[in-house]
Amino acid sequence: MPELPDIVVYIGALERRIFHQKLNRVRVSGPSLLRTVTPPIQELVGKTVCGLRRIGKRIAIGFEQEYWLVLHLMIAGRLHWRDLGSATPGTRVKKLASRRDLAAFDFDSGSLTLSEAGSRRRASIHVAAGAQRLEDFDRGGLEVLEAGLEDFAARLTSESHTLKRALTDPRLISGIGNAYSDEILHAARLSPVALTSRLNDAEVARLYEAVQATLRDWTESLREEAKGGFPEKVTAFRPGMAVHGRYGQPCPRCGANVQRIRYADNETNYCARCQTGGKLLADRSLSRLLKQDWPRTLEELGAMRTK
């Protein structure tokens, strides 16, 4: 799922292409993508873009008369920028450029398309009229790059959760998901299952610095990767990441193999040596299967593999 760094870079690319541009045509394939009826999405046609903003992991495009188009890409949704000739043959759904394209928004400057890989349609589009309706999409999470240490500490410890859950809860922290939470916790040398209520002041400060550095560094890295073009390589798995998506590969800090906890459609990646004092965190499915044979440390895991 695109997170804060990805969304910030998307918005920067969109500002250069559609700010002060008039929307000429909208095409949406099927009813599942468009989640609002009033106002109708065609109400945006003929109106000029006058602002863009991030709301958590959503992209909000503002139009004249306080209309807003709110895009939530979820896990597999992606945005693309295409020349008009490749995306505007007509208004019927079958005229969209690709079978993966779910929507197209045509401007004089080009066409913004939304695609989604796979068969599970989770991406969504909402249309809102007025600033008050737009606020309904804000889950209330702290904007960490705008917050000081004191505000961050207060929000982090306002409820007792694991660090992984606290960082990815949009009611607590805005814009962080599965990928960057792994990177932040590795940078802070903290366990993903440590409880927020048990952190000391030094650990909270370390986590705050890791949040700031990780999000800022990755935002700048993604900007450089795009090189002024439209970001087309948006992914949760990047070669430069320390632990996320790198299960079984060496930790760049200590060399120990990266471990994981799998649950539902997600997994948490971490370094046991750097983050948990060498303790292996129980993978819900495997630990149930192995029961008493589940290794508790890196040493026990190594011994199992040599038998």
Model-level pTM? 0.89
* 291 pLDDT above the threshold of 50: no
What is the model's pLDDT at position 268?
Answer: 95
Are residues 124 and 273 both part of a single domain?
A: no
CATH number at residue 168: 1.10.8.50
Are residues 12 and 119 both part of a single domain?
A: yes
The C-alpha atoms of residue 275 and residue 99 are separated, in whole angstroms, by: 43
Are residues 69 and 206 both part of a single domain?
A: no
* 11 pLDDT above the threshold of 60: yes
Are residues 81 and 183 both part of a single domain?
A: no
Of 102, 135, 168, the residue at which a domain comes to its end is 135
Q: 161 versus 303: which is more confidently predicted?
A: 161
Domain containing 83 equals 4-135
Are residues 156 and 86 both part of a single domain?
A: no
Are residues 130 and 149 both part of a single domain?
A: no
* 282 pLDDT above the threshold of 90: no
Are residues 12 and 112 both part of a single domain?
A: yes
What is the model's pLDDT at position 263?
Answer: 79
What is the model's pLDDT at position 219?
Answer: 98
- Note the pLDDT tens digit of each residue in 59-74: 999 999 999 999 999 9
What SS3 state is found at 267? strand
Indicate the residue type of 299: E
* 102 pLDDT above the threshold of 90: yes
Which of these ranges, 30-34, 216-220, 255-259, has the smallest mean pLDDT? Answer: 30-34
What is the model's pLDDT at position 225?
Answer: 95
The C-alpha atoms of residue 71 and residue 116 are separated, in whole angstroms, by: 12
Which of these ranges, 38-52, 97-111, 142-156, 171-185, has the smallest mean pLDDT? Answer: 97-111
Are residues 275 and 222 both part of a single domain?
A: yes
Q: Report the half-sphere exposure of 169 (CA within 13 A, side-chain side).
A: 15
Q: Do the beta carbons of residue 178 and residue 2 sit within 8 Å?
A: no
What is the model's pLDDT at position 297?
Answer: 62
Q: Do the beta carbons of residue 52 and residue 11 sit within 8 Å?
A: yes
Are residues 159 and 297 both part of a single domain?
A: yes
Of 135, 170, 198, the residue at which a domain comes to its end is 135
Are residues 131 and 148 both part of a single domain?
A: no
CATH number at residue 11: 3.20.190.10
Are residues 100 and 22 both part of a single domain?
A: yes
Q: Confidence class of residue 88 from pLDDT cuts 50, 70 and 90? A: very low
Are residues 59 and 102 both part of a single domain?
A: yes
What is the model's pLDDT at position 30?
Answer: 72
Average pLDDT for the chain: 89
Count of domains forming the chain:
2
The C-alpha atoms of residue 181 and residue 20 are separated, in whole angstroms, by: 35
Of 85, 110, 135, the residue at which a domain comes to its end is 135
